[in-house]
Amino acid sequence: MTASKETHVFQTEVKQLLDLMIHSLYSNKEIFLRELISNASDAADKLRFEATKDDALYEGDSDLHVYIEADKDARTITIRDNGIGMNRDEVIANIGTIARSGTKEFFGQLSGDQEQDAHLIGQFGVGFYSAFLVADKVVVTTRRAGLEHAHGVRWESAGDGEYNIETVEKETRGTEIVLHLRDNADEFLEHFRLTSIIHKYADHIPFPIRMLGTPKPVEEGEEEKPADIETVNQASALWTRPKSELSDEDYNNFYKHIGHDFEDPLARLHQKLEGKYEYTLLLYLPKRAPFDLWQAEAKHGVKLYVRRVFISEATEDLLPRYLRFVRGIMDTNDLPLNVSREILQQSSAMSAMKKGATKRILGMFEDMAKQASDENTDYAVAWKEFGNCLKEGIIEDNANRDRIAKLLRFSSTQSDEQTVSLESYVERMVENQDTIYYITADTLAAAKHSPHLEVFRKKGIEVLLLSDRIDEWLTSHLTEFDGKKLQSIAKGELDLSKLGDNAEEDKKEHDEAVKSAEPVVEKLKAALGEKVKDVRVTDRLTESPACLVSDQFDMTGNMERILKQAGQDIPSVQPILEINPEHALIQRLAALESESDVADYADILFDQAMLAEGALPEDPAGFVRKINALLI
């Protein structure tokens, strides 16, 4: 079978990535070998798994390995594997395009700062394209296992925006990559340099990585003896080795292999669990969130092995979705090698592993939280990167809700930083306080300056400031902590009568204010009509004239705005307007007799309260016009 050579243009994102990578990662060129070996290892893993169902895919050769060769005369490096290989369509899909969720957002985050962008590129993953860090021409020859020899594919590119692809004969399955080195990459032709990179990044790969050894010494007059082919790496699964044999460097390099990351992990967990089911966990917490963490199609980062044979990755059968940022492996002897997705979903062994892994990951977070201090900021870093994912756990994982609740951190009226735990909040409660108070808003600034906080500041009561979108859903599922009810200060009626130094006097003043304000309340009700569900005297405000409050079981204004911004067609919920009768504006309104003046004042009060909530008035131009008229 033959096919003419075709020339294709790289997808725009591929060209962008190549340019960014070459200019941002120039100081870390050696990672090309790590990435290409990692791809070769994955190809061997996939073949071994597929061969459990079809042994003929081995084509008589089950010795899975990676072979690396440097040719100083030709100035090339060859990386060859006998793994699963690719067909023509897979080559175009895997090398010519980047079909990943969040790609657009990734490129939008790039700043032009090479050091910062290098971290982002590391999170995105460079994979095959890292070859162009050291090569000005790359030739890939591959054939998928099970296809005839005539179905080989050759791909070639100089990384300049185009690539050529043609069908060729290839006797052996798998993939061969030939790198034609750039002028400044001669160091990678040295045997010692290549073997040192392999030891650094790929010692743990469970397949042999082979190279020609150094030539054997010969006596004078003897013919030169060919060098032996040697296995360079340990070729054993790192997670099966005793912890006492493994250094931090071993663990970190394994993480960089499976996570395709440039940085060391923030934390790790390596445990062998024994009981009804036996399995090994080697899990890592990255320092930075994956670029696609918030994409619906984002893959999970944990791989499942059965008796050290790779089975699958990126499924919610291994870990709950809210822990999708965790990287690592799970290995067990209690599943069949030919396990299907359906078997995974129904397996009691898999369920036990998922439950056990989740429990231990939460334990890792708990240990980090306990060790947190001014000197040890690991938990602060973890919370910044993954805190909102843990909040998802409150919603999704009822069994672990109490444990996750203790891990949550918030800003509050005592701290702008997200360092306040629910436990520390409870410890600081004022006398007789039995409720945890919070407010949700679009931004921290909007929450911090909300008029709803005025009475709480006066009484010295701490309020949690929640400004992440997920907080609205979080608080609907986390309704109490340590026996204390959580309550929004912008919903329902507040009862602070038992709190503060002058509680009885405050209650008496409030009751008197309610009675004396009845006329102005009625004026406002008549003027605002169906704009509001009710108008009443507040016990929230000490400085502002008015605020908007949601009824106890109604959606908050913030939640309504979030859903509408997401394109949800929902009916508007009428708020309650609470007024401060001591404020000069309310007193002036009380003295007005003209219905039109009362209507204008009422609209201005309502729209001001909307603005304080972080929302726009329904008629911004009308609001401005009325304000201008009053100023004149």
Asked if residue 102 has pLDDT above 70, the reply is: no
Average pLDDT over residues 534-555: 88
Q: According to CATH, what is the number of the domain 239-371?
A: 3.30.230.80
Which runs of consecutive H residues, i.e. helices, occur in 437-594? 444-448, 454-459, 471-477, 503-516, 518-528, 557-565, 584-591
List Cα–Cα distances, 57 to 172, 403, 505, 556, in angstroms. 11, 47, 85, 59
Asked if residue 504 has pLDDT above 80, the reply is: no
- Per the listing, tokens 């008629």 go with 619
485 band by pLDDT with thresholds 50, 70 and 90: very high
Evaluate whether 252 touches 264 at the Cβ level (below 8 Å): yes
Of 88, 70, 89, 69, nearest in space to 80 by CA: 69
Of 201 and 429, the structure prediction assigns the larger pLDDT to 429
pLDDT computed for residue 471 by the predictor: 92
pLDDT in tens, 29-42: 888 898 899 889 98
Of 297, 13, 310, 262, nearest in space to 125 by CA: 262
Of 216 and 136, the structure prediction assigns the larger pLDDT to 136
Q: Give the containing element (helix H, strand E) for 419.
A: strand 415-420
Amino acid identity of residue 157, one-letter, is: S
103 band by pLDDT with thresholds 50, 70 and 90: low
Average pLDDT over residues 355-361: 95
Q: How far apart are CA 346 and CA 294, in angstroms?
A: 28
Average pLDDT over residues 394-400: 95
- Per the listing, tokens 């919920």 go with 573
Asked if residue 318 has pLDDT above 80, the reply is: yes
451 band by pLDDT with thresholds 50, 70 and 90: very high
Q: According to CATH, what is the number of the domain 3-236?
A: 3.30.565.10
Average pLDDT over residues 400-414: 96
Asked if residue 344 has pLDDT above 80, the reply is: no
631 band by pLDDT with thresholds 50, 70 and 90: confident
> What angle (nearest 5°) sits at the alpha carbon of residue 533, between those of residues 552 and 508?
65
Domain boundaries, the chain: 3-236, 239-371, 503-631
Other C-beta atoms closer than 10 Å to the C-beta of 171 total 8
Domain 503-631 class, CATH top level: mainly alpha
pLDDT in tens, 256-298: 888 878 789 999 999 999 888 999 999 999 998 877 777 766 6
Of 356 and 631, the structure prediction assigns the larger pLDDT to 356
List Cα–Cα distances, 557 to 188, 551, 552, 588, in angstroms. 61, 10, 12, 28
Average pLDDT over residues 595-615: 88
Of 292 and 92, the structure prediction assigns the larger pLDDT to 92
pLDDT computed for residue 411 by the predictor: 95
Q: In percent, how much of the chain has pLDDT > 70?
A: 89
Average pLDDT over residues 468-481: 92
pLDDT computed for residue 108 by the predictor: 65
Contacts of 597 (CB under 8 A, 6+ apart): none
| Residue 506 half-sphere exposure toward CB, CA atoms < 13 A | 18
Average pLDDT over residues 606-619: 85
Contacts of 32 (CB under 8 A, 6+ apart): 130, 131, 133, 134, 135, 179
pLDDT computed for residue 1 by the predictor: 46
Asked if residue 2 has pLDDT above 60, the reply is: no
Look at strands 435-440 and 415-420 and give their pairing.
unpaired
Q: How far apart are CA 99 and CA 122, in angstroms?
A: 17
Among 56-60, 307-311, 366-370, 585-589, the minimum mean pLDDT is found in: 307-311
47 band by pLDDT with thresholds 50, 70 and 90: very high
The whole-chain average pLDDT of the chain stands at: 86
Average pLDDT over residues 436-464: 92
Asked if residue 160 has pLDDT above 90, the reply is: no
Asked if residue 503 has pLDDT above 70, the reply is: no
Among 86-95, 114-123, 558-567, 569-578, the minimum mean pLDDT is found in: 114-123
- Copy the structure tokens of residue 394: 């409150």
List Cα–Cα distances, 259 to 216, 286, 329, in angstroms. 38, 8, 11
Among 84-98, 134-148, 168-182, the minimum mean pLDDT is found in: 84-98
pLDDT computed for residue 106 by the predictor: 62
Evaluate whether 175 touches 43 at the Cβ level (below 8 Å): yes
